[in-house]
């Protein structure tokens, strides 16, 4: 699960498209004029993280909108195309695969815990400021194969994930890491545990 994720649309004047996905690079002046911190508007972090994951992902926006990303979705490689897909998702509430009737992205009802499998362990934080610094490989090795692991990764520049459903808050580095790097470390540790080459 990736969270939080600040998202707002900006209406365009005299352009074919009605909205833009706000981000700190392209809309810093607009955000500052509207008393918003541009650093809180980084959907590019989620874009990078989604490119790294091969399983079902739930993304919760800062405003509480929850959406599901199916494992067979092809995340666009460019951020511009990604922005268009996310805007389409927010407006239409789902995205179907081309030529198929199956939703690959869809807005779903909260709380996210309704979608977690039974016998799951929720691990969050991954912040270097967490009190519990672990080596990811050793951490996942001691968890039994009958336990479903759920990783909650922050898709933000600064801040902590403080959720009451998290079972274990950990750090996997003594230094700040991007969401994509956290996910890379998680997936590498799991691949080693399950001998996936």
Give the start-to-end residue ranges of the domains of the chain: 2-108, 112-193
Provide the phi-psi class of 26: left if phi over 0, else alpha when psi is between -120 and 50, else beta. Answer: alpha
- What letter would DSSP give residue 46? H
| DSSP H helical ranges for 93-157 | 136-141
pTM of this structure? 0.70
**In this predicted structure, what is the pLDDT of residue 2?**
46
Query: Is 2-108 CATH 3.40.50.620?
Result: no
* Whether 119 contacts 147, CB under 8 Å: yes
Topology of the domain covering 112-193: Alpha/beta knot (3.40.1280)
**In this predicted structure, what is the pLDDT of residue 111?**
92
**In this predicted structure, what is the pLDDT of residue 134?**
95
- What letter would DSSP give residue 107? E
The CA–CA distances, whole Å, from 147 to 11, 80, 133 equal 45, 38, 21
* Whether 54 contacts 191, CB under 8 Å: no
User: One digit per residue, pLDDT tens: the chain, 197 residues?
Assistant: 544 445 555 555 555 556 778 888 888 898 899 898 888 888 887 777 776 665 778 888 888 889 999 888 888 888 889 888 988 998 999 999 887 888 899 999 999 999 999 999 999 988 777 889 999 999 999 999 899 999 998 877 777 777 788 999 999 999 888 888 998 899 899 889 888 77
Place of tokens 């969401």: 179
Encoding tokens for residue 43?
């959907």
């Amino acid at each position: 699960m990736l969270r939080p994720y600040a998202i707002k649309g900006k209406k365009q004047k005299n352009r074919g498209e009605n909205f833009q996905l706000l981000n700190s690079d392209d809309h810093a002046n607009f955000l500052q004029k509207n008393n918003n911190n541009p650093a809180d508007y980084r959907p590019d972090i989620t874009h990078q993280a989604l490119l790294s994951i091969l399983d079902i992902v739930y993304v919760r926006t800062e405003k509480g909108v929850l959406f599901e990303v199916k494992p067979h979705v092809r995340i666009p490689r460019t951020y511009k195309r990604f922005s268009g897909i996310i805007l389409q998702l927010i407006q239409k509430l789902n995205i179907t695969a081309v030529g198929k009737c199956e939703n690959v992205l869809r807005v779903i009802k909260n709380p996210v815990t309704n979608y977690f499998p039974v016998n799951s362990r929720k691990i969050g934080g991954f912040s270097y400021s967490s009190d519990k610094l672990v080596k990811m490989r050793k951490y996942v090795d001691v968890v039994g194969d009958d336990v479903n692991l759920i990783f909650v990764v922050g898709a933000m520049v600064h801040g902590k994930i403080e959720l009451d459903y998290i079972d274990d808050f950990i750090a996997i580095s003594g230094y700040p890491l991007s969401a994509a790097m956290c996910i890379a470390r998680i997936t590498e540790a799991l691949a080693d545990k399950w001998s996936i080459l």
